[in-house]
Structure 1
Amino acid sequence: MNGAPSTVWFDRKRIAPNVPEDLESIDPMCEEIGKVIQLEVDQGIPRNKIIVGGFSMGGCLALHVAYRFQQEIAGVFALSSFLNDNSKVYKDLASSDCRRPPLFQCHGKVDPLVLYEWGESTKDLLIKAGVMCQFHSYPRLYHEMNKDELDKLQAWIDQTLTSS
């Protein structure tokens, strides 16, 4: 926003994969999501029955939560999302033999904000790091969601929670 404050999950210098991540703003948000997860656990929901996810920056944050802080959860989804090329997520996965929750990811091929190639590269690097991923692309989808995507997500959630 050219230096103007805005309400988002964390700070970005630019919407591009080749810039450094701002871990000073990402990590505290991951801790906050961790507190929400802990509240659910305290209410009797097992961690292996919890899925985190989101759209755009929310999906990016969910990837950080699932692969850096909450590896015991059932799964993670990221819609129209990407990780920076030098993401701490990739570094942590490469240096650890921790559990890797399965990933559901979708991306529109004509997304003008978060380019399709960024989402596809994120998927490829996560698979290379040992993450099981279900990836769906949509030829005419912009930076938005559609019914088919949400139907597939619902089926994936149902299957993931049944098998966990």
Structure 2
Amino acid sequence: MKEEKDEKNEKNEKNEKDETFSLIFLHGVGGTGEGWVDLLQRISPEKTKLIYPTAPVGAVTIYGDQYMPSWFNMIDSKTINVFELKESAIFVHSIVEKEIKKGRRPENIIIGGFSQGAALSLYSVLTCRRRLGGLFVLSGWHPAPWEFAESCAPSPSHALPNCHTPTLICHGNNDTKVPLEWGRNCEKSLLSFMTQLEFKEIDGLGHEVDDSIEHEISLFLAKIAKQNLA
């Protein structure tokens, strides 16, 4: 049994050495990381390690205190538990640090997410001390925007570590769970200090990911991969 375990560990270590990029994806409330594996495999460049954690189960007030996987409690459409948001961001940062410790360059680490996971992805990148390779936000919003209200266009004397990180926001204009207005407000607040921000409004799309969004993410990730391998 021990020999089988050692052989498995050796294979995992070899596979990780063959990989160049790490993609950390965060699911939405009530979902799981494994539920996104097929999509992640379709959109990711070659030699990408996929990391798709599942949030802990907790009561979500906006859904009648039902217990479900959730990165932070949502009280109503405008109020969240910011402490839990920060705790989840620390968890994401710990994944980043583990990848770097294994030899991954920070600029080859990309973070993305859907809905609540998109909001956490954004917050995690903005508060990360490492300069990362990319961020994509799908049907998300900007949580705790007041923390960045004093941020301004980057300069040598004042800049967030990830103010130059390529960022893609995709949002359907028929989304009734996270309205397009939230996505546009997110874009507006980030434009004051993010230098490589792209917003894609998807006509007729609801709170979901379709082929057009898959295509946009694939192009976005391929571009980052090409730049970092040059």
TM-score for the superposition, normalised by structure 2: 0.64
Identical residues among aligned pairs (%): 19
Aligned with 1:39 (options 91, 98, 117) = 98
Would the alpha carbon gap of residues 139 and 89 (structure 1) be closer, same or farther in structure 2, given more than 3 Å must change?
A: farther
| Matching of residues 100-139 of structure 1 within 5 Å | 100=163, 101-139=165-203
Aligned-residue offset at 1:130: 3.0
Alignment RMSD (CA, Å):
2.0
**SS of equivalent residue, structure 1 residue 32:** helix
Q: What is the CA–CA distance in structure 2 between the aligned matches of 1:147 and 1:87, rounded to whole Å? A: 30
Q: What is the CA–CA distance in structure 2 between the aligned matches of 1:89 and 1:143, rounded to whole Å? A: 27
C-alpha contact (below 8 Å) 1:64/1:89 kept by paired residues: no
Would the alpha carbon gap of residues 157 and 74 (structure 1) be closer, same or farther in structure 2, given more than 3 Å must change?
A: same
Q: What is the CA–CA distance in structure 1 between the aligned matches of 2:112 and 2:126, rounded to whole Å? A: 12
Q: Which residue of 1 aligns with 2:73?
A: 11
Structure showing greater relative contact order (alpha-carbon pairs closer than 8 Å, 6 or more residues apart)? 1
Q: What is the CA–CA distance in structure 1 between the aligned matches of 2:97 and 2:140, rounded to whole Å? A: 25
Name whichever of 66-75 and 147-156 sits farther off.
66-75
Note the residue ranges of structure 1 that are not aligned, 5 or more in a row. none
Q: Aligned pair count?
A: 160
| Matching of residues 86-105 of structure 1 within 5 Å | 87-91=145-149, 93-94=151-152, 96-99=158-161, 100=163, 101-105=165-169
Aligned with 2:212 (options 144, 148, 154) = 148
Q: What is the CA–CA distance in structure 2 between the aligned matches of 1:152 and 1:161, rounded to whole Å? A: 14
Would the alpha carbon gap of residues 48 and 139 (structure 1) be closer, same or farther in structure 2, given more than 3 Å must change?
A: same
Q: What is the CA–CA distance in structure 2 between the aligned matches of 1:59 and 1:52, rounded to whole Å? A: 9
Aligned-residue offset at 1:70: 4.2
Paired residue type of 1:159 = K
**SS of equivalent residue, structure 1 residue 114:** coil
Q: Which residue of 1 aligns with 2:21?
A: none
Paired residue type of 1:6 = M
Q: What is the CA–CA distance in structure 1 between the aligned matches of 2:192 and 2:203, rounded to whole Å? A: 25
Q: What is the CA–CA distance in structure 2 between the aligned matches of 1:89 and 1:45, rounded to whole Å? A: 29
Paired residue type of 2:103 = G
Which of the pair has more CA radius of gyration?
A: 2
Choose between structure 1 and 2: higher strand proportion: 2
Q: What is the CA–CA distance in structure 1 between the aligned matches of 2:65 and 2:152, rounded to whole Å? A: 34
Name whichever of 110-119 and 22-31 sits farther off.
22-31
Q: What is the CA–CA distance in structure 2 between the aligned matches of 1:78 and 1:10, rounded to whole Å? A: 17
Q: What is the CA–CA distance in structure 2 between the aligned matches of 1:131 and 1:11, rounded to whole Å? A: 31
TM-score for the superposition, normalised by structure 1: 0.88
The superposition leaves residues 25-57 of structure 1 with CA deviations (integer Å, 9 ceiling, x where unpaired) of 011111111111112112211001001010001
Name whichever of 88-97 and 50-59 sits farther off.
88-97
C-alpha contact (below 8 Å) 2:151/2:192 kept by paired residues: no
Q: Which residue of 1 aligns with 2:128?
A: 69
Q: What is the CA–CA distance in structure 2 between the aligned matches of 1:141 and 1:71, rounded to whole Å? A: 33
Note the residue ranges of structure 2 that are not aligned, 5 or more in a row. 1-62
